[in-house]
Chain A
Amino acid sequence: MTTYVYAIARADDLDLPEDLTGVGDPARPVRVVKHDDLAAVVAEAPAGIRPKRRDLMAHQRVVDAAASNGPVLPMRFGSLADDDGAVGKVLDERAEHWRERLSALEGKAEYNLKAVHRTDAVIHQVLAEEPEIRAVSDAQRTAGGGTHEDKLRLGEMVAAAVNAREKRDAELVREKLAGHAEAVQSGPGSQAWIADLSFLLTAESAGQFLTAVDELARDHPHLELTVNGPLPPYSFVEPATASAAPAV
């Protein structure tokens, strides 16, 4: 029977609620496959599982529960093994690697930060900082709004200025925050946000990081910043490669 795998952890750290359930409808009971000191949190895989929001959240809920007492290596959503035996085999064959990764992530959590512009605030900034655009805007307003072509031309100028600020602010966010983290990874939604970054933080550095986020938001009120964390270290399960190292 196919086995859905949620996470790898130390066997002794796991203390899952007895009624914990995971993906599927009905949600399948979660259990543990152990091999020596290592364990995988698993469940029977429902047939035809797809990445629906309900199941994604169930996945996260189980990984969170697994992480309550110690470090975990969260699996990507939808990882399926042929059976429990195949899971045990993977725990066995790469046992040293799993132990090393769990030690490396001990006491650390992922914090994901997303940044977008407050649209009106950034346009306001453009008008205040770019006299040329301000002049065009003033002229059009005086003329009662301008023609369709006038509006397009103004809008295009503003868009270019906003675009430049997106790049500038992306660098600013990373520069102000990366120093607090042991590692930084670009989030998968990089295209949808001005900045989408994940930071690996200890309990101590998390406090400093959140303070720095506060300061950033205060000093740059046109930025809308959202932090999610602490999270299981999805973005840091494997050692950082050279290309993924924080660009400080």
Chain B
Amino acid sequence: MTTAIATQNGPSRSGGGGSGSLYDVLELILDRGLVIDAFVRVSLVGIEILKIDVRVVVASVDTYLRFAEACNRLDLESGPNKDPGLPDIVGSVTESGARGKTKGALAGAAETVSEAFRSKTGDDDKESAPRRRTSSSASARRRSSSSKEDDE
């Protein structure tokens, strides 16, 4: 059995050496799997670091300010006929090549905005599909959160 990552664009290998997709399942290896009473388990002290919340913490002042700022930015072009799922705004990020009429390009537009919002550079992987870039940027954040653990 081979580990592969399948995105919404169809099954595909994860980019950048393959460890990205594996990282997403480390929690399964830690928290799932067979436990046998006759065996002991190694101490999991410090494991919380691996489980840092990747989701936006919704109830915080920082988030409120970010959301308010996003409203200021986003609704400039959101007329009633716009698809709410496809924010049509570029801001200072210039990836005009990703904008166009196809499904993939529309995803690219959403991606561009989302990267701008996260203040990620995302300039290391322009060849790959837009959605996968999103996934890898999310993974990268988590990887960096957990790197402390490895550096101990």
Contact = CB atoms under 8 A, between A and B. Distances in A.
A227 interface: yes
Nearest to A230: B1
Given A154-B71, A192-B53, A121 B36 contact: no
A106 interface: no
Contacts of A235: 28, 32
Interface string B49-90: 011111110110101111111111011101010111111010
A14 B83 CA distance: 52
B85 A222 contact: yes
B85 A162 contact: no
Interface residues of B, number: 87
Interface string B82-118: 1111110100000000000001001100110110111
Interface string A225-238: 11111111011011
B140 interface: no
A231 B26 CA distance: 11
A53 B56 contact: no
Contacts of B58: 159, 162-163, 166
Among B21, B68, B106, B118, find the residue whose CB has the most chain A CB atoms closer than 10 A.
Answer: B68
A15 interface: no
B86 A221 contact: yes
4 closest A-B pairs by CB? A155-B64, A217-B8, A188-B31, A78-B42
